[in-house]
């Protein structure tokens, strides 16, 4: 699999628009920079995401599992600010 090839963007725009959200609204809701969301919608900036998927597949886990430790760390710090962590199993 060549990572340098141009890839079709994820369905971010389709899903976002079907949810009735603008890029600005999605950025505000998620804390993800709107220019990053826009790049994902255009199919640029997805290389890291694709590489994370490849690594997760090679390790037999999900991308969420790979980055879950970071999320748990961030949530542990945020719990002092009244935030709670949700687990889905």
> What proportions of the chain, in percent to the nearest 5, are helix, strand and coil?
65, 0, 35
pLDDT greater than 90 at residue 44:
no
pTM comes to 0.55
At residue 33, the pLDDT reads: 93
pLDDT on residue 87 = 42
- Would you kindly state where each structural domain of the chain is located, as residue ranges? 9-45, 48-81
pLDDT (tens digit per residue) in 49-89: 888 889 999 999 998 888 885 556 566 655 544 443 444 43
More confident residue, 46 or 8: 46
Neighbours of 46 (CB within 10 A): 20
């Amino acid at each position: 699999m060549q990572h340098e090839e141009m890839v079709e963007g994820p369905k971010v725009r389709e899903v976002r628009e079907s949810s009735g959200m603008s890029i600005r609204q999605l950025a505000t809701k998620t804390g993800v920079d709107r220019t990053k969301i826009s790049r994902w919608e255009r199919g640029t900036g997805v290389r890291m995401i694709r590489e994370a998927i490849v690594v997760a597949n090679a390790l037999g886990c999900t991308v969420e599992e790979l980055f879950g430790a970071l999320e748990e760390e961030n949530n542990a710090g945020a719990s002092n600010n009244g935030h709670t962590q949700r687990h889905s199993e």
